[in-house]
Amino acid sequence: MRVPMPLLRLRDLGLLATFAAVMAATSPAVRGQAAAPARDDIVNALSKFESGPELDIPALKPKIIERSRSRGKNEPEASKRPPIVPELREFPTFNVAIQFDVDTPIILPESYETMGRIADAFVNAPLLPFSFLIVGHSDTNGKAREANVILSQRRADAVREVLVNTFKISAKRIQSLGIGEEQFIDQAKPASPVNLQIQILTVAKTPDQQPAAPAAATPAAKKSAKKKR
């Protein structure tokens, strides 16, 4: 029995519609991949800096690792764990979802648009006077806390390196710090994917580039000048 041509066309259209729906359902936007943030949103969030506490980043890194190794009997559960660097809450902050390869610091290609927006914001006039801190976090994923600190540091380093090496942002303007699950973005929900985001903080004003004063003439130079007269 032959199927009339109009019915075949209707069936084909139905298959195409189903295929389109499947593709839409598996597209990055539906899978939860965040759209790249707007440059102006980053600028507006990070330009609200007047002053803040000084951060000794080299000293903080071993302190964070040391706490991640501790296993006290009376240690509170993750949601009640005190923040390791509470001072971070005093700085202007912008949270951004950067996609990494699983358990690595490799930034996936779909996040390079986001990286470009961050770089574009850093060279926008309102942010030029400032320096920044890239902070990596982790959720409670069942891995050792020390491993999460190390991975979060490597991911924060990777974001910094791309901004410096690919987008040519001055290395003097960016530091990086990984704190793993020692301080959550969403303290009440330690397992939330929000805790995998990267935080960008405005932490200081860069010193003005003043022209170097001419070096004072040495006694030997003064004698040489007198001889030439």
Radius of gyration of the chain (CA): 26
Candidate from 33-37, 50-54, 145-149, 169-173 with smallest mean pLDDT: 33-37
- Asked if residue 26 belongs to a domain, the reply is no
- Asked if residue 105 belongs to a domain, the reply is yes
Each residue's pLDDT tens digit, 94-120:
999 999 999 999 999 999 999 999 999
The rounded distance, in Å, linking the Cα atoms of 139 and 4 is: 58
Q: What is the pLDDT of residue 142?
A: 78
Closest CA to 197 of 159, 226, 150, 145: 159
Residue 127 confidence (pLDDT) above 50: yes
Q: What is the pLDDT of residue 2?
A: 56
Residue 77 confidence (pLDDT) above 90: no
Give me the number of domains the chain comprises: 1
Each residue's pLDDT tens digit, 154-196:
999 999 999 999 999 999 999 999 999 999 999 999 999 999 9
In which band, very low, low, confident or very high, does the pLDDT at 75 lie, cut at 50, 70 and 90?
A: confident
Output DSSP code: residue 191. T
Q: What is the pLDDT of residue 217?
A: 47
Q: Where are the alpha helices (DSSP H) in the chain?
A: 5-25, 28-31, 39-46, 57-69, 112-122, 145-161, 219-228
pLDDT (mean) for 64-82: 86
Tokens representing 139? 């959720």
The rounded distance, in Å, linking the Cα atoms of 77 and 184 is: 13
- Asked if residue 9 belongs to a domain, the reply is no
- Asked if residue 109 belongs to a domain, the reply is yes
Tokens representing 161? 């390196």
* CATH label of the domain that carries residue 157: 3.30.1330.60
pTM score: 0.76
Q: What is the pLDDT of residue 13?
A: 43
Question: Burial level of 3, CB count in 10 A (0-12/13-18/19+)?
Answer: exposed
Phi, psi of 174 (to 5 degrees): -135, 130
pLDDT (mean) for 143-151: 93
Residue 215 confidence (pLDDT) above 60: no
- Asked if residue 4 belongs to a domain, the reply is no
Which residues span the domain enclosing 89? 34-205
- Asked if residue 146 belongs to a domain, the reply is yes
pLDDT (mean) for 3-19: 45
- Asked if residue 219 belongs to a domain, the reply is no
